[in-house]
Structure 1
Amino acid sequence: MIALDPTPYPIDHVALRGAAEAVALVDKAGTMTFAGLEAGVATLAGWLAGRGLAAGDRVATWLPKTRTACLMPLAVARAGLVHVPINSLLRRAQVAHILDDSGARLLVTQAARAGTLDAGDVPDGCTIVDEADCPLVPGPSSIGPSDADPASLAAILYTSGSTGRPKGVMLSHANLWLGAVSVAHYLKLAPADRVLAGLPLSFDYGQNQLFSTWLAGGSVAPLDYLVARDVVKAVERVAATTLAGVPPLWVQLLEAEWPAETAARLTRLTNSGGALTPRLVRGLRDRFPAADVYAMYGLTEAFRSTYLDPAMIDAKPDAMGRAIPFADIAVVKPDGTRAAPGEAGELVHAGPLVAQGYWRDAERTAQRFRPAPDGGGMAVWSGDTVVEGEDGLLRFVGRDDEMIKSAGNRISPLEVEEAVLAGNEAREAVAVGVADARLGQAIVVVLAGDASGETALRARLRTALPSFMQPGHYLWREELPRNANGKLDRSAIATQVRQSSRGNEEQGR
């Protein structure tokens, strides 16, 4: 088990953690040892340092899980720059927003992706570089491990809020390093582990799969998959011991055919991005009898807050567990006092895993990042209501904002609505998340307009939004309800949609 050393280091030092000849990466190109990982990071960092960028400039990557994509988070940090990973599933409009908001000076992508961007999508001063031109073979420009201040900015991860476009969460070297130490410790990762990394590298936990595994001296096998069968084949192909997922993926994997010997390879399953249901827990325990199941809760602004000891998951599958190492968790009532066991309150997360705020957004930073209730420094006020049981375990009660969480993705209703209203098919639109057994939540859009425009709207959104943001259903109305101020009554609309959804579900049973 990794020792809980609270001393943070520059995140690029994680490339030095494994034995030189041990395998660090398993991908389509073959295998890469830790010595090769360090050399590749040094080469990429030297190439970046020679491009005339200033310290702190942002370097964006919009890539599938290629070798370059896996090394770039460390190389950018080593070069004294700030990494902005963009979800490979995002489309032109979302990519353009992130490039503009971050002020990226460099975008590393592929020719086919770059070809989808329109004039004006790339801000002035930002250069597009094809991934094929990024060197991985050691050369004279290679540079060694950095001596960066652990408190300095290393990455900006974009995450959706309940209103507005995605916002950039600022993460320091210390945030990333201590997050890796924490996860490697409580998951008990070891050099013998091989982690199948299916989560997007633009997600905090997807990126952490690289860092925590390499910190423990283990190997990572990145995977871009289309269907559950791809995951099954990959587990066998790379001899994976560890698999991370979100609830919708577990549903799909339990429906897939698993050879007994392949299922037995997995000794560790980790879940985030939504709660596991008791039914899913039973299914995972039956299908993967050799695997410990880790249920976890977190938010990008504080990385991860709690996890449930696998020994408890059979008896208490509804629990979020206790604080992870380096996290200081409190349950706070509306009056600012600590909630007693059995009392509901807001989950507040303090400690060294708390991010540095939102990029160039002082107003939203002040709303979410506020002093801890006991004076213990800056804290993230999650907006999620939880309760601590007499057993000392936290349980989720509800979400205070209007975020839609579908297939493990946090989706802003406003961003969906903006895409819907970008054409002429509808006058007004409100996006709502409704309970869905496979997705966690499905997206329903209530529109004011003529339903005859739905075919054209669906066709347009297929090119405007990534697959996980596509609405599942459209409800057409002549007019949408308004409140006393003349504004759309979003609360009433959401209530009507969810009640209708529950009624339809009950009729279908």
Structure 2
Amino acid sequence: MQSPIDSTPRPLDHLAELASENGYGDAPALVLRSEVFNHDELRLRVDRLAAWLSRENLEKGARVATWAAKGELTCLMPLAAARAGLVHVPINPLLKRAQATHILADSGAVMLIGTASRLRSLEVDDLTGECVLLEEQAALDAAKEAGLAHGPSKADPDELTAILYTSGSTGRPKGVMLSHANLWLGAVSVAHYLKLASDDVTLAVLPLSFDYGQNQLISTWYAGGSVVPLDFLFPKDVAKACAEHGVTTLAAVPPLWVQLTELDWSVEASSPLRRLTNSGGALTIDLVRDLRGIFSQADLYPMYGLTEAFRSTFLDPNLVDSHPTSMGKAIPFAEILVINDDGDLAEAGEEGELVHCGPLVAQGYWQDEERTAERFKPAPPHSTYGGTAVWSGDRVKRDEDGLLYFVGRRDAMIKSAGNRISPQEVEEAAIATDLVQEAVALGIPDERLGHSVHLVVRGTKNENERAELAKLLKAELPNFMQPRVIHWRDAMPLNPNGKIDRTALYRELSQ
């Protein structure tokens, strides 16, 4: 039986101390390609990295960005930056120069630590202000020579400790501000409802720049378990790592699950798995059936979340077979309300907006009061927590048993392979080439990706220039943002207000 859940937040860097406090100090904590750190060694490495950061004389609250693949630096920096009183800004390694430049400028990062190739991709004009560039290995070497910090920080749990950038339906990615308490209680919540234990091994396949990806680390360490970071090229690499490391916990998004179910899993790879967790899109009934068939001994946890409030709901594994399309109920520390169009609590079966209340709600968008005011609003009067709530924009229904079901989104954001993609960002990249006059990016349903990006443009009729558009987009946008199809038009359909009729284009392309 699990112990009662502890709702008292602590500074995030205290996670490095927990396993030692609970007697698991000599158990594996981080399994890298060339070495393995136990929890005592993890604590030491975090302390040294924090000590080096402190010696760099950065102001309290300064933003330090990382732009590298999964490894010692990217895994330890969330805790080390917190211990040093800094704010960590992880940049997805899949992003390219334009997106990284925006994040650095918007966050006001004073230091960027990354792999040499990524740093070389930046141009002098890309950097504004005083942002020091440092190669990943140089930072790790400097940390080894540093002394120790003064142990766990005494930070106020409500202080800002991380900014995670996420795409919205319009404009450039926006930075979601997360406090120590947000991340700490998120770790406690997930570790509790997933029933994580000190002998669990989590394969971290999701990007650490995502809230879901970062939580792979901190929820596992909260429970005293170990994490195996993996940047994979092929789905078979995931199965191979599961067999090699005796993985018990695997988190993925639906498109990856589809690819994994197409593999021939060995007993060595599948049998150690105790739990599968899904977010970033709904599982289909067929996919649930396939996962339950391959991993019959593992609990399957469908989940729903949004970066602005971390995670909102999960479905009890015992209900997956009978309610495969449900989002479940609220996770610990989350209060989920369904508010109808009249502003009242929706009745059972009535559609409404999902509103997330409670201590997992983020602090808003970094230096963006206008967009913060649109999403972060006072909690409905029906809320137990009160305060600020996240009004998700997602339409849901709650059944008679309290289970939630996703209906749709109000905005035009594209979700493809678990990535949130801003249509406007794709459109701006196309128009910036000077090859098109108008551009509309749409997410068209796709069995493997959830949605694939289709780009409708009006522009040149020159075939060579049309081919050039695809080449330029490949240079400017990360792979997951690339249009699967570019549709050329002589004219765009217009609605009665004279604006491009996106609904008509979507209807045409989705047939």
TM-score by length of 2: 0.96
C-alpha distance in structure 2 between counterparts of 1:454 and 1:230, whole Å:
36
C-alpha distance in structure 1 between counterparts of 2:495 and 2:98, whole Å:
31
Aligned counterpart, 1:459:
471
Is the 1:86–1:95 contact (alpha carbons within 8 Å) kept by the matching residues of 2? yes
SS in 2 for 1:84: strand
CA 1:2–1:210 in structure 2 vs 1: closer, same or farther (change >3 Å)?
farther
Deviation at 1:261, TM superposition (A): 2.8
SS in 2 for 1:128: strand
C-alpha distance in structure 2 between counterparts of 1:257 and 1:3, whole Å:
40
SS in 2 for 1:69: helix
Aligned counterpart, 2:13:
12
Deviation at 1:496, TM superposition (A): 2.6
Q: Where does 1:322-341 land on structure 2 (aligned, <5 Å)?
A: 322-341=329-348
Is the 2:52–2:147 contact (alpha carbons within 8 Å) kept by the matching residues of 1? no
Is the 1:268–1:294 contact (alpha carbons within 8 Å) kept by the matching residues of 2? yes
Aligned counterpart, 1:95:
100
Percent sequence identity over aligned pairs: 58
Deviation at 1:371, TM superposition (A): 0.8
C-alpha distance in structure 2 between counterparts of 1:159 and 1:337, whole Å:
30
SS in 1 for 2:153: coil
Is the 1:2–1:189 contact (alpha carbons within 8 Å) kept by the matching residues of 2? no
CA 1:183–1:496 in structure 2 vs 1: closer, same or farther (change >3 Å)?
same
| Residue identity matched to 1:496 | E
* The one of 383, 398, 409 aligned to 1:388: 398
* The one of 65, 68, 76 aligned to 1:71: 76
Is the 1:39–1:138 contact (alpha carbons within 8 Å) kept by the matching residues of 2? no
SS in 1 for 2:187: helix
Aligned counterpart, 1:259:
266
Is the 1:385–1:398 contact (alpha carbons within 8 Å) kept by the matching residues of 2? yes
Aligned counterpart, 2:442:
432
Aligned counterpart, 1:112:
117
Aligned counterpart, 1:505:
none
Aligned counterpart, 2:131:
126
* The one of 410, 421, 424 aligned to 1:400: 410
Deviation at 1:138, TM superposition (A): 6.5
C-alpha distance in structure 2 between counterparts of 1:107 and 1:75, whole Å:
15
Aligned counterpart, 2:275:
268
Aligned counterpart, 2:183:
176
1:200-238 alpha-carbon deviations (Å, 9 max, x no partner): 000001001110000000000000011101101111111
SS in 2 for 1:120: helix
| Residue identity matched to 1:275 | A
Aligned counterpart, 2:492:
480
Is the 1:2–1:181 contact (alpha carbons within 8 Å) kept by the matching residues of 2? no
Is the 1:45–1:143 contact (alpha carbons within 8 Å) kept by the matching residues of 2? no
Mean Cα deviation higher: 259-268 or 197-206: 259-268
C-alpha distance in structure 1 between counterparts of 2:170 and 2:15, whole Å:
36
| Residue identity matched to 1:471 | P
1:452-475 alpha-carbon deviations (Å, 9 max, x no partner): 233211111222111111100111
| Residue identity matched to 1:494 | Y
Is the 1:2–1:216 contact (alpha carbons within 8 Å) kept by the matching residues of 2? no
Aligned counterpart, 2:224:
217
1:139-162 alpha-carbon deviations (Å, 9 max, x no partner): 424331100000000000000110
Deviation at 1:164, TM superposition (A): 0.4
C-alpha distance in structure 2 between counterparts of 1:102 and 1:323, whole Å:
31
SS in 1 for 2:41: helix
Deviation at 1:484, TM superposition (A): 4.1
1:277-300 alpha-carbon deviations (Å, 9 max, x no partner): 110000000011111000000000
CA 1:156–1:36 in structure 2 vs 1: closer, same or farther (change >3 Å)?
same
Is the 1:204–1:300 contact (alpha carbons within 8 Å) kept by the matching residues of 2? yes
Structure 1, unaligned runs of 5 or more = 503-509
CA 1:332–1:128 in structure 2 vs 1: closer, same or farther (change >3 Å)?
same
C-alpha distance in structure 1 between counterparts of 2:278 and 2:145, whole Å:
37
Aligned counterpart, 1:377:
387
Deviation at 1:2, TM superposition (A): 5.8
Aligned counterpart, 2:245:
238
Deviation at 1:485, TM superposition (A): 4.1
SS in 1 for 2:99: helix
1:4-61 alpha-carbon deviations (Å, 9 max, x no partner): 1110000000011112111100111221011111111110111111112100100000
* The one of 308, 318, 335 aligned to 1:301: 308
| Residue identity matched to 1:132 | Q
CA 1:474–1:131 in structure 2 vs 1: closer, same or farther (change >3 Å)?
same
Deviation at 1:133, TM superposition (A): 1.3
Is the 1:445–1:475 contact (alpha carbons within 8 Å) kept by the matching residues of 2? yes
TM-score by length of 1: 0.96
Aligned counterpart, 2:90:
85
| Residue identity matched to 2:389 | A
* The one of 419, 422, 433 aligned to 2:432: 422
Aligned counterpart, 1:249:
256
1:412-444 alpha-carbon deviations (Å, 9 max, x no partner): 000011111121322211000010000000000
Deviation at 1:137, TM superposition (A): 2.9
Structure 2, unaligned runs of 5 or more = none
Answer yes or no: is 1:469 the counterpart of 2:469.
no
C-alpha distance in structure 2 between counterparts of 1:80 and 1:490, whole Å:
46
Aligned counterpart, 1:507:
none
Is the 2:244–2:269 contact (alpha carbons within 8 Å) kept by the matching residues of 1? no
SS in 2 for 1:282: helix
C-alpha distance in structure 2 between counterparts of 1:497 and 1:377, whole Å:
42
* The one of 236, 240, 243 aligned to 1:229: 236
Two-structure CA RMSD over aligned residues (Å)? 1.2
C-alpha distance in structure 1 between counterparts of 2:482 and 2:430, whole Å:
10
SS in 1 for 2:309: coil
Answer yes or no: is 1:447 the counterpart of 2:457.
yes
Q: Where does 1:36-75 land on structure 2 (aligned, <5 Å)?
A: 36-75=41-80
SS in 1 for 2:126: coil
Is the 1:348–1:381 contact (alpha carbons within 8 Å) kept by the matching residues of 2? yes
